[in-house]
Amino acid sequence: MSDQNHAAERQLVGAARAGDRTAFEELVRRHKSALYRFVRRYVGNPADAYDILQETFVSAWLALARFDPDRSFSTWLHTIALNKCRDHARRRAVRQRLSLRFFASERALLQARADGAAESPQSLLPAPQRRLDIALAGLPRRYKEPLLLTLVGGLTHQQAAQQLGVTTKAVEMRIHRAKKRLSEALAEHAAAVQAPSEEPAG
């Protein structure tokens, strides 16, 4: 961000902290696209990402009085979004465990998931993008978070390390492993798609 844009953003943040909703709406306009990309990559579902994005901005508005104007506003927003994503992941894990108790058989569970996937906005994405989102969402949290904070959130390795409470070296190592896992997952999917199907014996 240029010095001029940085100064303009500081003015908007100051006005928003004073209760100016128009200033906050301009901040939302400036950051919503980048923040949405970050959240969608984390959760892997456009509909869930949109809900989390809304929750992030509501929380930001309510917490503006506690925001340190010497901090980066973008980094602060990504901190809130990251916590919302973590909360979403925990709630999803609980829902999945509960679902196992109510479905009578594995077939019923798989069918329910298949039906839900057919109606999901995720199915409307291009196939390569959908596969990438699924692979990203399936990464362990320790690898996914530094990757998304740097590549999508625009944070430096040092900023991501501060955000996650780890060393810069750990961030670099986890990003490397995240990329390796993504490559392996996408390669496995491509191999599965290209593998010839077995023909029944005549």
Cβ-based neighbour number of residue 20 at 10 Å: 13
Q: Specify the pTM.
A: 0.64
* 132-169 per-position pLDDT tens digit: 777 888 889 999 999 989 988 888 999 999 989 999 99
Nearest-angstrom CA–CA distance, 20 and 3: 23
* 182-202 per-position pLDDT tens digit: 888 878 766 765 655 555 554
Structural domains of the chain, with CATH: 1-124 (1.10.1740.10), 126-194 (1.10.10.10)
In the predicted structure, residue 101 carries a pLDDT above the cut 70: no
pLDDT value of residue 193: 59
pLDDT value of residue 92: 63
pLDDT value of residue 136: 82
